A = this chain, B = another copy of it.
Amino acid sequence: MSLDLGADVVSLTESVVNIESVSQNEKALADDVEEALGAVAHLEVTRIGHSIVARTDLGRAERVVIAGHLDTVPLNHNLPARNDGTRLHGLGSCDMKGGVAVALRLAHDLATPNRDITYVFYEAEEIDDAYNGLGIVARQRPDLVRGDFAILMEPSDAVVEAGCQGTLRVEVTTRGERAHSARSWRGVNAIHGAAEILRRLNEYDARKPVIDGLEYHEGLNAVLISGGVATNVLPDECVVTVNFRFAPDRSEAEALVFVKEFFDGYEVVVTDSASGALPGLGVPAAKAFVDAVGGTVNPKFGWTDVARFTGLGIPAVNYGPGDPMLAHKQEEFVPLDQLRSCEATLRTWLGAES
């Protein structure tokens, strides 16, 4: 067995990081997670695609869902993992294999928690929503993800982050007319036409609304650009892929209206959209968890599956080891003490002897 769930959380995180699992390449890690959880007597394990669900069934009054995605953004010369004594470095260490390792430790050790627990380890969170493993499980087996409260172990510096921003992706396209580049005045250069799109993006002024006392921070960015036919042909098309991260006081529809107005005069085609989630800290289960882990709450900037849980009617927060600011950065790492404190805090909240 390549994953030893009985090992300490730092070793386990290192093992999980070293099983490369860039989105759509999660099979190897999912196989290992399935095998390791399958050997734990107090769990009932189900696999759907490369997502693994493991549940206790003790008839407790309350059921909590603890979830984490198995995939990472693309490699960037940042594997294998490196432990410098205080931090574990490497692709996915922060987003979010540290959280996955904490959840795997709890799944292994907690045979009789004070709440029933559903652990969900899922594929394809970092790519198009259509592939999202939690979404697939929720559609195919909604019974498997039911619960009274959900903790998504996304990096949050071991502090509760509430709500999440929505995300909208669009392609903004310019058109031109091909011509030989030696006689460019006979055509129309579509790449040059993208100058105005980029100019507007540079002038974008981010909105920072305060909701339930938490300050969100929107963002509008070109994430991809492509255009051109051949090196001696005037290009007739240029596509700028733009990602809008919007605060949870806007709906998806309102976000799209904003983006369409922003790029007025250009073709705008939606390629991905997911709603945000309001903090929802008034819900009793959320409040109880916040109190249990110390009371501090920050806003969540990134879109997370907290929004999906909210959509399913399950109150949810983000809580996990790792600085969210380091997510998707080459130099991401997770502090070893956060791995340990997250594990300890959750153990206590779930009624285990520490």
Determine chain A's interface SS by DSSP, over half rule.
mixed
Q: Are A230 and B223 in contact (CB under 8 A)?
A: yes
Q: Are A185 and B206 in contact (CB under 8 A)?
A: yes
Q: Does A221 contact B (CB under 8 A)?
A: yes
- Give bound CA distance, A114 to B51, whole Å: 80
Q: Are B235 and A183 in contact (CB under 8 A)?
A: no
Nearest B-chain residue to A229, judged by Cβ: B74
Against B, the Cβ 8 Å flags (1 = close, 0 = not) of A154-179 are 00000000000101010000000011
Q: Are B195 and A201 in contact (CB under 8 A)?
A: yes
Q: Does A231 contact B (CB under 8 A)?
A: yes
**Given A182-B219, A185-B217, A219-B185: A169 touches B231 (CB 8 Å cut-off):** yes
Interface residue ranges of A171-217 to B (CB < 8 Å): 178-187, 189, 191-192, 194-195, 198-199, 201-202, 206, 217
Interface residues contributed by chain A, number (CB under 8 Å)? 62
- Give bound CA distance, A234 to B302, whole Å: 13
Q: Are A232 and B240 in contact (CB under 8 A)?
A: no
Against B, the Cβ 8 Å flags (1 = close, 0 = not) of A222-244 are 11111111111111001011010
Chain B residues with CB under 8 A of A126: 230, 232
Q: Are B206 and A235 in contact (CB under 8 A)?
A: no
State the oligomeric state as a number of copies.
2
Q: Are A225 and B245 in contact (CB under 8 A)?
A: no
A277 to B: closest C-beta gap in Å: 13
Interface residue ranges of A18-36 to B (CB < 8 Å): none
Nearest B-chain residue to A240, judged by Cβ: B191
Residue pairs across A and B with Cβ atoms less than 8 A apart, 26 shown, are: A95-B180, A126-B232, A167-B232, A178-B329, A178-B330, A179-B329, A180-B302, A181-B219, A181-B221, A182-B302, A183-B217, A183-B301, A183-B302, A185-B206, A186-B325, A186-B329, A189-B221, A191-B221, A191-B222, A195-B202, A222-B235, A223-B229, A223-B231, A224-B235, A225-B228, A228-B241
The 7 closest A-B pairs by CB, nearest first: A224-B228, A195-B198, A182-B302, A180-B328, A191-B222, A184-B219, A180-B327
